[in-house]
């Protein structure tokens, strides 16, 4: 309202209501997230490093602002149980992120950074869940010094080199 100079009623009328404004903001956020992940994954010299950076993102800020603030998409899904339109949007967004992660997993496998015995889609979903965990827990106020070792443990478990997978992992 402050930036546009519109009052609340005019702002909602411009976008069709509070719900529509919220969905539009969420779609814009998801599109920006999608573009940032796509760029990050494509520009990384090694795909496994891009995946490692992705998992460490929630705890990458020493002040922990990202972990405490959470993710707009994740925060929005709390409302999805009561809002089928939002549930559809969240599902679409998570499937899009999963597809990007899957592509990166396949690239990491082709480069020899991950075992080819791992299913790329299952691995992508596990990576998405692992990324959400520190973000979700961080919203409770847990500090980054506590969350970072957890994120590193998830990296070690999910992004094992092929030789460590065949050796018993």
- In whole angstroms, give the CA distance from residue 2 to residue 90: 28
pLDDT band at 169 (very low <50, low <70, confident <90, very high): very low
* Closest C-alpha among 85, 55, 62, 79 to residue 155: 55
Indicate whether 126 pLDDT > 50: yes
With 0-12 / 13-18 / 19 or more C-beta atoms within 10 angstroms meaning exposed / middle / buried, residue 139 is: middle
Choose the weakest-confidence range: 30-34, 73-77, 97-101, 146-150.
Answer: 73-77
Mean pLDDT of the chain: 84
Q: Which of 37-41, 64-68, 75-79 tops mean pLDDT?
A: 37-41
Indicate whether 168 pLDDT > 50: no
pLDDT digit string, tens, across residues 7-22: 777 776 777 778 888 8
> So what's the pLDDT on residue 50?
96
> So what's the pLDDT on residue 92?
93
Indicate whether 165 pLDDT > 60: no
Indicate whether 146 pLDDT > 80: yes
With 0-12 / 13-18 / 19 or more C-beta atoms within 10 angstroms meaning exposed / middle / buried, residue 56 is: middle
Domains of the chain in sequence order: 18-154 (1.10.357.10)
> So what's the pLDDT on residue 13?
73
The structure's pTM equals 0.82
pLDDT digit string, tens, across residues 23-52: 998 999 999 999 999 999 999 999 999 999
> So what's the pLDDT on residue 47?
97
> So what's the pLDDT on residue 115?
92
Higher per-residue confidence, 84 vs 64: 84
Half-sphere exposure (Cβ direction) of 23: Cα atoms closer than 13 Å: 15
């Amino acid at each position: 309202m402050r930036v546009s100079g519109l009052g609340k009623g005019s702002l909602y009328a411009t976008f069709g209501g509070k719900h529509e404004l919220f969905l539009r903001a969420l779609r814009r956020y998801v599109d920006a997230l999608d573009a940032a992940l796509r760029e990050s994954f494509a520009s990384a010299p090694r795909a496994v490093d891009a995946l490692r950076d992705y998992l460490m993102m929630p705890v990458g800020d020493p002040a922990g602002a990202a972990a405490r603030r959470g993710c707009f998409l994740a925060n929005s899904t709390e409302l999805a149980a009561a809002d089928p339109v939002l549930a559809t949007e969240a599902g679409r967004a998570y499937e899009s992120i999963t597809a990007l992660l899957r592509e990166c997993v396949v690239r990491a496998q082709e480069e020899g950074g991950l075992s080819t015995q791992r299913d790329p889609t299952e691995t992508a979903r596990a990576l998405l869940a692992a990324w959400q965990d520190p973000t979700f827990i961080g919203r409770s106020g847990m500090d980054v010094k506590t969350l970072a070792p957890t994120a590193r443990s998830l990296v070690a478990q999910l992004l094992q080199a092929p030789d460590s997978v065949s050796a018993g992992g």
